[in-house]
Structure 1
Amino acid sequence: MFQLEYPWLLLALPLPLLVWWLLPAYGERTRAIRVPFFDDVALATGQTPARGAVILRSNWLRRILAPLCWVLVVVATAGPQWLAPPVERTESARDLLLAVDLSGSMQTPDFLDAQGARIDRLSAVKGVVDDFITRRKTDRIGLIVFGTNAFPQAPLTLDHNAVRELLNDLRVGMAGPQTAVGDAIGMAVKMTEHSAQRERVLILLTDGHDTAGRLPAEKAAAIAKDHHIVIHTIGIGDPDASGENQVDLSALERIAKVTGGQSYRGENREQLADIYHLLDRMTPSKVKHSVYRPKVKLYYYPLGLSLLLMLGYHLLMLTVLAPMTRRRDEPVPEPRSA
């Protein structure tokens, strides 16, 4: 669809007519040559002296091209443009972070795969989380790994294939042998600090308790709440174990409760998959739809045409009309008498 960006500038179209009508004609006084025998010259030529002025000659072509070029320039100034068909753009409306524990206890082989073979906890988690990422089509997803320290494994991105590849590269002990739950939450706060999304979700999975965190887990949860982060926790360890291998389910419940999230316990691969399916339903993908119309600027067409017309007119005057005018003005020699 064609439209003008500044249609009110078309009000300038009658401006030359107003100038012609309201302002006096331009005149310039010049010195004349004084001829003492002027009257004799006038009498000899048969002319009657009168007050007058030199008026520049015009022609029909200039009378046509001048208004046309003015109209083209004004139209170019008004910003002609072509609006392309509407384009709908879909954007993510949520940031989703996945925090995976890589402490030494994650290599415990107490999970079963689909064929019934024993696998370690991390392998089971990677399979379930990979399926979860596949279903989240429109969310920006980031990946955090933590052990003795917490690290961002994948930034918040819509490139889910890249996140899945980085997830597949995870190995037990990459972040240290201990468990720093509070640092993992703090990393989530840092990764979403400059995010434009108001809704942010952290799914934190661990099989131990906070033994190495420099930031206490519950204090980190309170900070996360201030940054609008909802934390869902999943504990997959043995609450009856001792030392590093004991999962503190009550602490995970308190962390989730502070931020308005839920806490779960996954004892096997099927239960863990059910938890992620439940979280998938609890936090459905949210998208923002915006419609915009691409604009193609067209001002250079009328502007270029006016320049070409003016250039063509002056070339025509120099090569054709001016010589014809000079020949017409030359005096015709009188025939010689026999």
Structure 2
Amino acid sequence: MLIFAHPWLWFFLPLPYLVRLLPASSNKAQAVWVPFGARLQQAMASNPTQQVKSQFKWLTPILIWVCAVAALCRPQWIGDPVEKIIPTRDLLLLVDLSGSMDQEDFNNASGEKVDRLSAVKEIVGDFVIKRKGDRVGLVVFGDSPFLQAPFSTDLALSRRLLDESAVGMAGPRTALGDAIGLGIHLFDESNAPAKTIIALTDGNDTKSQVPPIEAARIAAQRDIRIHTVAIGDPGTVEEDKLDLDSLEQVAQNTNGQFYFAANREELEGIYHELDQVETRKIRTVSHRPKLDLFHLPLSLLICISLGSKWRITRFRREPVQIHRSLRVDPRTGQLLTTP
């Protein structure tokens, strides 16, 4: 679609005509009266150069002025709309990679026995792919938390980095509180209206410098919601014992939900429910690219000017002999011409 960025400049189009309506100058030029004026005018009318000037007397200036005004109006071509999806939520996944995650008490999609982390990769990976419209990040933790995938709308990349994680790569113990603290720091540069953390662990926090409950209070002050997911055997003891009370309190302090899964089916149901709780809201903005076309009327203006100048110059280079001799009639005193 063609538009003009400054359409109000079209009002200058009749300006030359309005200037022409102004009163002429009162200065009168001196003239010489000759008795052969009519013949001289007739001879000039037969000059090809004058015919060309008369032919382009009005057309050329009008076209040049129209092209100049059109260029000043800045014509633009509006392209097809280009839509962009703006994320409305930053979602951070915390995944436990402590030594207890290698216990083979879960099943995969085929029903085979696999370790806990393998089952988590399948279920959480499918959950990530569904989060279109969100920016998803991934933090893995053991003895210390590490940023595995920064916030991104490239969900396939986030899932691939999740699949590349391995048990023990962050240390054998569990530092959930420090992982929440790292997540809070990552949200400092987030402008998303909704900020959510989903923390998954199968053991007790034994390594954090900041307790998970204290980290949750800080998250609540910054409007960050935390959902906690506990997996494994609640009957384990010592360091591998699940601290369900702490995980539940972390979720409550941030208006989140606490979940427990003892097998693959329950874990899959939890992430399906989380997908419903954290509803995806997609906001799109549309942009239509603009292409400036002011150079087209300017190019036409230059071509018209050069073309008219070339034609007049060509005729001027061909001298036309109107009369070869002049004499005066002795009887009438009139100017006579001899071809």
Could you say whether these structures have the same fold, taking a TM-score greater than 0.5 normalized by the shorter chain as the test?
Answer: yes
CA contact (8 A) 2:87 2:134 kept: yes
Going from structure 1 to structure 2, the CA distance change for 1:190 and 1:66 (only over 3 Å counts) comes to farther
Tell me the TM-score normalised to structure 1 length: 0.81
Structure 2 counterpart SS, 1:128? helix
- 2:123 is aligned with 1:128: yes
Q: Which residue of 1 aligns with 2:219?
A: 224
Q: Which residue of 2 aligns with 1:3?
A: 3
Q: Note the C-alpha offset of 1:230.
A: 1.4
Structure 1 residues 70-79 or 217-226, which shifts more? 217-226
Distance 2:16 2:180 in 1: 70
Structure 1 counterpart SS, 2:121? helix
Q: Note the C-alpha offset of 1:87.
A: 4.3
Q: Note the C-alpha offset of 1:193.
A: 2.5
CA contact (8 A) 2:232 2:263 kept: no
Q: How does 1:22-41 map to 2 (within 5 A)?
A: 22=22
Going from structure 1 to structure 2, the CA distance change for 1:214 and 1:10 (only over 3 Å counts) comes to farther
- 2:15 is aligned with 1:15: yes
Structure 1 counterpart SS, 2:192? coil
Identity of aligned residues (%): 42
Distance 1:295 1:200 in 2: 35
Going from structure 1 to structure 2, the CA distance change for 1:115 and 1:296 (only over 3 Å counts) comes to closer
- 2:143 is aligned with 1:148: yes
Tell me the TM-score normalised to structure 2 length: 0.80
Matching residue within 71, 78, 88 for 1:93: 88
Structure 2 counterpart SS, 1:286? coil
Q: Which residue of 2 aligns with 1:209?
A: 204
Distance 1:229 1:14 in 2: 64
Q: Which residue of 2 aligns with 1:321?
A: 315
- Counting matched residue pairs gives 311
Structure 1 residues 168-177 or 7-16, which shifts more? 7-16
Letter in 2 for 1:153: Q
CA contact (8 A) 2:78 2:288 kept: yes
TM-superposition CA deviations, 1:264-290 (whole Å, max 9, x none): 111111111110111011112221122
Structure 2 counterpart SS, 1:175? coil
TM-superposition CA deviations, 1:78-135 (whole Å, max 9, x none): 1222333444443332222211011111112222334544322111211111221232
CA contact (8 A) 1:237 1:246 kept: no
TM-superposition CA deviations, 1:55-89 (whole Å, max 9, x none): xx964415321221111121122122233344444
Structure 1 counterpart SS, 2:189? coil
Distance 2:140 2:69 in 1: 62
TM-superposition CA deviations, 1:203-260 (whole Å, max 9, x none): 1101123322233323322332343321111011444433321222111112212221
Matching residue within 173, 179, 188 for 2:183: 188
Q: Which residue of 1 aligns with 2:44?
A: none
Structure 2 counterpart SS, 1:193? helix
Distance 1:312 1:183 in 2: 78
Structure 1 residues 270-279 or 146-155, which shifts more? 146-155
Q: Which residue of 2 aligns with 1:256?
A: 251
TM-superposition CA deviations, 1:147-197 (whole Å, max 9, x none): 111111112222222222211111111111221212212222233322331
Give the gaps of 5 or more residues in structure 1.
Answer: 28-41, 48-56
Distance 1:112 1:138 in 2: 30
Going from structure 1 to structure 2, the CA distance change for 1:87 and 1:211 (only over 3 Å counts) comes to same
CA contact (8 A) 1:237 1:245 kept: no
- 2:168 is aligned with 1:173: yes
Matching residue within 277, 280, 285 for 1:282: 277
Distance 1:312 1:294 in 2: 35
Distance 2:85 2:74 in 1: 29
Letter in 2 for 1:334: S
Give the gaps of 5 or more residues in structure 2.
Answer: 37-49, 328-339
